[in-house]
């Protein structure tokens, strides 16, 4: 009996996605809840699991197709066996058209790749999400990579090593392909296609890559913020001496007790939580002709991911400890790299913190994340001469930038908010005594 595989619910307000990749091909045996396809939405990439165990008998949609929530993209036969199922709907099984002929490997992208992988290389089409993203990001051919994982599977480190070898001009260690069997009649196997010629010195090349759904959505939302909000940015600088000293003094004890490193982000999250109590408009939003004020703080923390910047949400940050904040951010960072963040984890923030300092940024004017009314930009720490008590001293300084929606937040409120953050960072005791 054939069972339909439908596009699952993708989150609030998301009605469709792009079929990014088939993880299984028609004719493959699948287990219940085993991912068979990867969908890319406006915010995350999600896997579509098989609802039952059986054989994937038919793929209805193609890679690159836009599919709606609830749409049928494949069918799985619970009673079939992999050996008796044709590899593709409508394909003829014959010596000149074997099962699987004409299929495009899920992530190969190499027009000279063989139609069928040698026995034992089936994992090429079932790479893990993290490995698939690394393959696409670095434009490497997985068929040419020798896997070091279990059962010869390719790991993310294998892909990165191949990309590094490609950049340096060295040839990565390739798999030894199985010798092709001679076809019926004793004819010799066809010679492999010739490799593409290397680029000539000084040759000018261009590459066109379709924007991912995530990148399209980011572009749309950022432009929307510029078009609708009355954005303005105010700046200040902060002496990081006290935070750096506290971090240096307690980092070992902190890590020993909580199992996580003490970073700077938790200090800023706590400082923002303190500041929004004095200036609630920065944590509010406009809905029509109404202002929505909140007694909670859900901080969107900008995290770098292979496909671009994502902003998972640290919920109820005002009630969290330093350790809870650091653990949550670290977990989100791991998920961002692996591409496993969920839609729920990236929606509903009320304020954003973006740390461009980790990339070396000295100063910037961050753009609002609608419908939020404020975003705090952190930057790199560098030693600069400052005047204190009539003396010029060298201190580790950081520029802070607050972009805000001037329709809702007055200039006085924005400056007051940024000063409150500055005071809390320069005197972290304020965070403890709620001052």
- pLDDT tens digits for 156-186? 778 888 888 877 765 555 444 444 444 444 4
Sign of CA dihedral 249, 254, 256, 261: negative
- Quote the CA–CA distance of 172 and 139 in Å, as a whole number: 14
Could you write out the DSSP letters of every residue in 117-141? PPTT-GGGGG--HHHHHHHHHHT--
pLDDT score, position 115: 39
Q: Among 331, 284, 124, 303, which residue's Cα sits nearest to residue 214?
A: 303
**The pLDDT value given to residue 419:** 96
Q: At what angle do helices 241-258 and 322-338 cross, to 10 degrees?
A: 80
Question: What is the pLDDT at residue 43?
Answer: 63
Q: State the CB neighbour count (10 A cutoff) for residue 229.
A: 21
Check: CB of residue 376 under 8 Å from CB of residue 369: no
Residues paired with residue 314 on neighbouring β-strands, in sequence order: 299
Segments in the chain below pLDDT 70: 11-13, 42-44, 79-130, 149-151, 169-199, 214, 307-308, 435
**Cis bond upstream, residue 425 (ω within 30):** no
Among 339, 293, 296, 338, smallest CA distance to 314 is for 296
Closest CA relative to residue 139, chosen from 356, 353, 306: 306
Instruction: Report d(CA 355, CA 189) in Å as an integer.
Output: 57
CATH of 2-168, one of 2.40.50.100, 2.60.120.1570, 2.40.10.10, 1.10.10.10: 2.40.50.100
Residue 142 φ then ψ, to 5°: -65, -20
Rg of the chain taking only CA atoms, in angstroms:
27
Q: What is the DSSP string of 190-249?
A: PPPPPPPPPPPTT-------PPPHHHHHHHHHHHHHHHHS-EEEEEEEEE-HHHHHHHHH
pLDDT at position 127:
67
Query: CB of 175 within 8 A of CB of 121?
Result: yes
> Which of 379, 319, 328, 317 has its CA nearest to residue 351?
317
Kindly report the CATH class assigned to 218-433: alpha beta
- pLDDT of the residue at 236: 96
Beta bridge partners of 292: 285
Q: Is 406 a catalytic residue?
A: yes
| Catalytic residue of the set 47, 110, 138, 406 | 406
Catalytically annotated residue among 33, 122, 410, 427: 410
Concerning whether 379 is annotated as a catalytic residue, the answer is no
Give pLDDT, residue 26: 83
Query: Residue ranges per domain, the chain?
Result: 2-168, 218-433
């Amino acid at each position: 009996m054939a069972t339909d595989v439908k596009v699952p619910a993708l989150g609030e307000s998301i009605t469709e996605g792009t079929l990014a990749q088939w993880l299984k091909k028609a004719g493959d045996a699948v287990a219940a809840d085993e991912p068979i396809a990867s969908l890319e939405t406006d915010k995350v990439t999600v896997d579509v699991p098989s609802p039952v165990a059986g054989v994937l008998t038919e793929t209805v949609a193609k890679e690159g197709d836009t599919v709606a929530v609830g749409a049928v993209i494949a069918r799985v036969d619970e009673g079939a066996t992999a050996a008796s199922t044709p590899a593709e709907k409508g394909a003829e099984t014959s010596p000149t058209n074997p099962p699987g002929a004409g299929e495009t490997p899920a992530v190969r992208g190499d027009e000279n790749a063989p139609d069928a992988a040698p026995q034992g290389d089936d994992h090429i089409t079932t790479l893990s999400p993290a490995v698939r993203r690394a393959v696409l990001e670095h434009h490497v051919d997985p068929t040419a990579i020798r896997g070091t994982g279990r059962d010869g599977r390719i790991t993310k480190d294998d892909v990165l090593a191949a990309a590094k070898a490609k950049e340096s001009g060295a040839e990565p260690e390739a798999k030894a392909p199985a010798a092709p069997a001679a076809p019926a009649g004793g004819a010799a196997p066809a010679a492999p296609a010739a490799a593409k010629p290397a680029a000539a010195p000084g040759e000018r090349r261009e590459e066109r890559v379709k924007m991912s759904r995530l990148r399209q959505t980011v572009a749309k939302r950022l432009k929307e913020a510029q078009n609708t909000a009355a954005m303005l940015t105010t700046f200040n600088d902060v002496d990081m001496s006290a935070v750096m000293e506290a971090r240096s003094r307690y980092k070992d004890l902190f890590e020993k007790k909580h199992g996580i490193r003490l970073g700077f982000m938790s200090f800023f999250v706590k400082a923002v939580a303190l500041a929004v109590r004095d200036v609630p408009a920065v944590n509010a939003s406009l809905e029509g002709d109404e202002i929505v004020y909140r007694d909670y703080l859900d901080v969107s923390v900008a995290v770098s991911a292979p496909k671009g910047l994502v902003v998972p949400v640290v919920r109820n940050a005002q009630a969290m400890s330093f350790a809870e904040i650091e653990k949550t951010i670290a977990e989100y960072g791991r998920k961002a790299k692996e591409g496993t963040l969920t839609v729920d984890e990236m929606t509903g923030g009320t304020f954003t913190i973006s740390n461009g300092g980790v990339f070396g940024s000295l100063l910037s004017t961050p753009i609002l994340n609608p419908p939020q009314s404020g975003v705090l930009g952190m930057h790199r720490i560098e030693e600069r001469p400052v005047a204190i008590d009539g003396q010029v001293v060298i201190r580790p300084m950081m520029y802070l930038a607050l972009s805000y929606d001037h329709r809702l937040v007055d200039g006085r409120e924005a400056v007051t908010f940024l000063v409150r953050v500055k005071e809390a960072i320069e005197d972290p005791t304020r965070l403890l005594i709620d001052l």
